[in-house]
Amino acid sequence: MSAQKASPYSIKMFLPDGDPDGLRIIEKSNWTGVGVVFTRSGYKSALKRDEFQRTGVYVLVGTSEDSSLPTVYIGEGDPVKPRIDSHYAKKDFWDWGVFFVTSNQSLNKAHVKYLESRLIQMGKEARLCNLDNANDSTPPNLAEADVADMESFIVDMLRVFPLVGLSVFEKPEESTTKELHIFKISSKGITAKGYESSKGFVVLKNSEAVSKAVPSIHPYIETLRKDLQNQGVLTNADGKFIFTSDYVFTSPSTAAGVVMGMSANGRICWKDGKGKTLKQVQTDSMKDSEDN
């Protein structure tokens, strides 16, 4: 099924300290939600904000030397401050975090427990991060109207997450291949297909990748290939890797590198059904727009 066309919306971002890398307060048009982005180094000074005393759901984000994917922990608090205080003292991995509350304090414990459960589920399904949560979060029994409200709240959170540098909860949108400009790599006995999207370059389910990388492969690509094996995105079959689901990469070159097991220029390696490279298609589209 095709995704519906996105509607335009506006985001308001307030920097209380005047630091674009520090504390940020985010609000969206026609939404009661409030997002608060904070760094670990600035956490103690950020606590003066009254948003920390409200009920909400939070995400802590960090990196690992052993993985190319971000490490993420998802939690909820009523209010959020005591829970994040505990993670500040006991969890070392995270460098920054973001939490969501409401301006009218309409979220309750059951609401944020539902939000926590859904974000954990979505993080696992998207397979774009390493979840630090040891266990699944069991969703509470909510009334049908409350479930609808929380699902709507999640939609708005997903519109904010990428703007603060966190794109780990969404799988590629479902589309039929007839609607897409498909590109292909056929090399070393494997065939992979993919397309460009607003989120990056998507390699399609059942695409193939070489099982053995060249010795000179870039460490980042090698680590990412291992991450995708650990996440179950790549599975070994008949001497090659198979993509078990559509997967979005940050660039066509990263996608090509994973597929071919070597550093590659994705704008040249990916070709459409007419033999045109991705670079040629992009160049032609620019000429067409100029002509019009």
What are the pLDDT digits (tens) for 74-87?
999 999 999 999 99
- Residue pair 72/15 in contact (Cβ under 8 Å)? The answer is no
Which pLDDT belongs to residue 53? 97
Residues 36 and 160 in one domain: yes
- Bridge partner list, 209: 241
Q: d(Cα 50, Cα 11) in Å, to the nearest integer?
A: 21
170 lies in a domain? no
Q: For residue 289, what pLDDT is reported?
A: 59
Q: What are phi and psi of 153, to 5 degrees?
A: -65, -40
Task: Mark whether 151 and 16 lie in a shared domain.
Answer: yes
Does residue 157 sit in the same domain as residue 31?
yes
| Residue 252 CB partners (closer than 8 Å, separation 6+) | 183, 194, 196, 201, 266, 267, 269, 270, 278
197 strand-pairing partners: 200
Are 68 and 132 in a shared domain? yes
Amino acid at 249: F
Q: How large is the average pLDDT for residues 258-273?
A: 96
Domain that holds residue 96: 11-164
Same domain, 79 and 203: no
3 pLDDT more than 60: no
Same domain for 21 and 124: yes
pLDDT value of residue 137: 78
Which residue shows structure tokens 């540098």? 165
Q: Mind listing the pLDDT tens digit for each residue in 129-177?
A: 999 998 877 889 999 999 999 999 999 999 999 999 999 999 887 666 6
User: At 104, is the secondary structure helix, strand, or coil?
Assistant: coil
Residues 267 and 122 in one domain: no
Q: How far is CA 55 from CA 75, 81, 109, 122, in A?
A: 11, 9, 7, 21
Sign (positive or negative) of CA dihedral 257, 261, 264, 266 = negative
Please enumerate in sequence order all residues whose Cβ is within 8 A of that of 210, keeping only pairs 6 or more positions apart, or say none.
188, 189, 190, 240, 241, 259, 260, 261
- Mean pLDDT of the region 7-28: 94
- Please indicate, yes or no, whether residues 144 and 193 belong to a single structural domain of this protein: no
- How much is the average pLDDT of 186-196? 95
